[in-house]
């Protein structure tokens, strides 16, 4: 069983989706993340074990490599695709309650911004880490964020912006969220965003990479 999980880790790290995939070339003809996830479940491993020991270690390696500049965005996307494809097999276990989410996070790209690639990567990493993500999509204004936080009783909301122009819209959205809801943490990120900017608009946290946000959320659950 350990061997199946180790191979699953490797497939997620290397971005091998399934048996039919031609990527990566040196793994052609070998089972991918989808087949190994099904094999693990068929052999009696719990869905929680598959998530914790099969998905998380692989995505953590990807997150750490990205943070340290050892891989770049295309490689992260490929790994995230492998993980999200295999995650489809675990969704029924989340719905049945066999796997419990660690918590719930609201995410969206801020008003005026139609880019979602960064947000989607963070979403997949968080889901692979056992968090439920309520994705509001793109061009999200403060009212939609506030409604989602309240209706989902969420304690963390993530705002994404990919342009210097739309980044400025974070200021008003953060201000409105904090003026109406006291007990929510507002996390921001995106290509042009910096820690200095996050501090200037009173955001609670800023992360330059998806793994940073996942580590932050995991620490919050242990606190």
Residues 115 and 112: their CA atoms lie apart, in Å, by: 9
Q: Which residues contact 177 (CB under 8 A, 6 or more apart)?
A: 142, 145, 146, 149, 157, 184, 186
CA distances for 183 relative to 34, 64, 94, 178, angstroms: 39, 30, 26, 8
Q: Where along the chain do its domains lie?
A: 2-96, 104-222
Q: Which fold has domain 104-222?
A: Rossmann fold (3.40.50)
pLDDT band for position 125 (cuts 50, 70, 90): confident
Q: What is the pTM of this model?
A: 0.83
CA distances for 32 relative to 12, 61, 121, 214, 223, angstroms: 8, 17, 20, 24, 36
Q: What is the CATH number of domain 2-96?
A: 1.10.1240.10
pLDDT per position as a tens digit, 25-44: 999 999 999 999 999 999 99
Q: Report angle CA 150, 154, 158 to the nearest 5 degrees.
A: 105
pLDDT per position as a tens digit, 54-81: 998 998 899 889 888 999 888 988 998 9
């Amino acid at each position: 069983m350990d061997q199946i999980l180790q191979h699953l880790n490797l497939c997620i790290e290397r971005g091998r989706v399934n048996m039919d995939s031609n990527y990566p070339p040196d793994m052609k003809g070998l089972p991918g993340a989808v087949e190994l996830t099904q094999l693990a479940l068929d052999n009696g491993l719990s869905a929680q074990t598959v998530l914790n020991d099969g998905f998380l270690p692989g995505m953590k390696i990807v997150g750490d490599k990205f943070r340290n500049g050892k891989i770049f965005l295309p490689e992260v996307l490929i790994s995230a695709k492998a993980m999200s494809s295999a995650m489809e097999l675990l969704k029924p276990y989340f719905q049945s309650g066999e796997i419990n989410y660690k918590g719930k996070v609201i995410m969206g790209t801020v008003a005026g911004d139609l880019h979602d690639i960064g947000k989607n990567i963070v979403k997949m990493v968080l889901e692979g880490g056992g968090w439920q993500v309520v994705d509001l999509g793109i061009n999200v204004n403060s009212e939609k964020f506030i409604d989602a936080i309240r209706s989902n009783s969420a304690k963390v909301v993530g705002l994404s912006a990919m342009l210097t122009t739309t980044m400025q819209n974070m200021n008003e959205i953060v201000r409105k969220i904090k003026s109406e809801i006291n007990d929510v943490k507002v996390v921001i990120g995106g290509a042009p965003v910096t820690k200095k900017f996050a501090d200037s608009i009173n955001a609670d946290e800023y992360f330059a990479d998806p793994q940073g946000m996942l580590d932050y959320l995991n620490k919050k659950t242990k606190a």
